[in-house]
Amino acid sequence: MQNAVLITIGDEILSGNTVDTNSNFIATELKNIGIKVVQIFTISDEIEIIKNTLKSAFELGNLVITTGGLGPTRDDKTKKALAEFFDDEIALDDVTFKHLRSYMEKRGRIEILERNREQAFVPTKSKVFQNHYGTAPCMMMEQDGKLSFSLPGVPYEVKPLIKDQIVPFLKDKFNLNFITTRIVSVVGIPESILADQIENWELSLPENLALSYLPVGTRVKLRLTAMGTDDNVLQSQLEEEIQKLIPIIGDNIIATSEDKIEKILGEILSRKKLTISMAESCTGGQLSLLLTAIPGSSKYFFGGVVAYETQKKIDLLNVSESSVERFTVVSEEVSSEMAEGCQNLFKTDIALSTTGVAGPGKGEDGKEVGLVYYTIRVKNESETFKLFLPHLERQDFIYFVSQKIIQDLVGILIRK
């Protein structure tokens, strides 16, 4: 099996100003063709640091992919570090320059600055993969049978380089195994009990299949991974094992192919021909965002209200002033009334509501940060839940609560 090491280069990543999405994408693409990522480094754009990290990377794997540090400014030093590491020199590559000139002319840049021209200078020993979405090319270097690919850092440039050029190149060069994964999502069974329940099935899995338990809130994702030379055979093998698993777990399985809980909910709503609406306060529209991100959600999602201020809960959702005065705005009673008011407003089968304190300060009524009530109303039946999550940062709190509500709703719907 080929082992890969990823290196993300750039002070903007280390400072936290930019999130590294490239590593996740590249690791997934490599996994799909049977290449395992064994290490990910994030380093500053300094020549000696880059060279030392390349040395460490080649000790860990036989494939190294770097992203970042290839721009036209002085703080991008990756190209020089590559030349020094591979005992090479940098020179103008005519093919790359012609590609660069054509790329810029198509965008109305007739005059090419010297800084832009320098993008066409590459190590002489490198194989160049032209970048059709930017000015910095990808350069491949080889040493003792091990490969290094250096890519720009912009994600929309990285993705086509990986998918359209580097992955096909690697598949041609190496006799790679396929790695195929299926997710079985289970609700209503704690992880330890689930492990006991499916132990015999797990022990009888073929040697080329591996099982992982991934708890997510109230859901357990069973990840089945198969490795082999024929993807069609692997797909059939996974399906066969999942069919054996279904009778063991029964209705607690909510999906056998999809990972995102909001996609699973969408499929259930579509299948049962149910409609849904949201009345959000502390989640600030995150619930609506999750559901509407799924293609086709307009079939079941009718709308939502972000009633952040107390008076808006009264005006828009018909929450009674007496309930607010007696129980406070962050309460089981107000949450329940919000859901009922939302259901009446949008005329949906299901309504969800949230009221809580996301922080960083306490609520207007003195309620503690991390407290939330949420209501799931299906037809004429309501159930209100309470969570207290004082350890979560504001954005983590909002996302966790939204995910938890969707998972709880899925559990309720599969039992009906």
Which amino acid is it at 13? I
Q: Indicate if 155 and 65 belong to the same structural domain.
A: yes
pTM listed for this prediction: 0.66
Q: Which amino acid is at 97?
A: F
- CA-CA-CA-CA torsion sign (273, 341, 311, 369): negative
234 and 267 part of one domain: no
CATH number reported for the structural domain that contains residue 141 in this entry: 3.40.980.10
The reported pLDDT for the residue numbered 1 is: 66
DSSP H or E segment with residue 12:
helix 11-14
Do 409 and 271 share a structural domain?
A: yes
* Ranges in the chain, pLDDT < 70: 1, 72-76, 109-110, 112-113, 115-116
What pLDDT score was predicted for residue 106?
A: 83
For residue 184, what are the domain limits?
Answer: 178-255
Rounded-to-integer distance, Cα 138 and Cα 132, Å: 11
Distance, CA of 81 to CA of 76 (rounded, Å): 10
Q: What local confidence, expressed as pLDDT, does residue 177 receive?
A: 77
For residue 330, the domain's CATH number is 3.90.950.20
- Strands 178-187 and 219-228: what pairing? antiparallel
Give the chain's end-to-end CA distance (angstroms, integer). 47
Clarify whether residues 108 and 6 are in a common domain: yes
Query: Is there a single domain that holds both residue 61 and residue 182?
Result: no
**DSSP H helices in 225-279:** 231-249, 261-272
Contacts of 193 (CB under 8 A, 6+ apart): none
Check whether residue 230 and residue 368 sit in a common domain: no
Tens of pLDDT, residues 349-362: 999 999 999 988 88
Beta strands 121-123 and 90-92: pairing type? antiparallel
Confidence (pLDDT) at 176: 79
**358 and 235 housed in the same domain:** no
CATH number of domain containing 229: 3.30.70.2860
Whether residues 15 and 139 fall in one domain: yes
- Look at residue 200 in the predicted model and tell me its pLDDT: 97
The last residue of one of the domains, among 220, 255, 290, is 255
Supply the pLDDT for residue 326.
Answer: 95
How many domains in the chain? 3
282, 295: one domain: yes
Q: Are residues 169 and 193 in the same domain?
A: no
- Containing 306, the helix (H) or strand (E) segment is strand 301-306
Please return the burial class of 175, using the count of CB atoms within 10 Å of its CB with bins 0-12, 13-18 and 19+: exposed
**Using CA atoms, how far apart are residues 6 and 4, in angstroms rounded to an integer?**
7
In a shared domain, residues 305 and 281: yes
> Of 255, 276, 299, which one is at a domain's C-terminal end?
255
Strand-pair partners of 375: 353, 384
Q: How far apart are CA 4 and CA 163, in angstroms?
A: 16
Q: Are residues 158 and 31 in the same domain?
A: yes
* Residue located via tokens 């307009």: 298
Last residue of a domain, one of 173, 196, 214: 173
